[in-house]
Amino acid sequence: TSIGGIDTEGNLLEYRDDEAVVGRAMLRNARRAVLLADHSKFSRAAMSRLGHLREFNTLVTDRRPAGGTMQMIREAGCELIVASET
């Protein structure tokens, strides 16, 4: 799935409630959860909470995040894949 933003605490956010509802349903029914988020999604606020980064197995992004964001990803136990480095 993709999201509107990831705040500094690792909460996954959407701009519309209906998108968050669909995202939560997909996450509940997934055997493996992979999040796609380009670098512009980090430290961004939005209205509706979809979940938390720790609920995902893998995060795929286009650029290696800055130090604080990297720490948050590690603490969430989420595998990080940077597409530009593969």
Q: What does the alpha-carbon distance between residue 26 and residue 68 come to, in Å, rounded to a whole number?
A: 28
Range of the domain at 34: 5-85
Give which of 48, 60, 46 is closest to 23, Cα–Cα.
Answer: 48
CA distance 64 to 79: 12
In 3-state terms, what secondary structure has residue 20? helix
Give the model's pLDDT for residue 3. 86
pTM comes to 0.84
Q: How far apart are CA 9 and CA 53, in angstroms?
A: 9
pLDDT of res. 86:
66
Q: What are the pLDDT tens digits along the chain (86 aa)?
A: 678 999 999 999 988 888 888 888 888 888 999 999 999 999 988 889 999 999 999 999 999 998 899 999 999 999 999 998 76
Number of structural domains (the chain) is 1
Mark 57-67 as b/e (b = at least 16 C-beta within 10 Å): eebbbeeebee
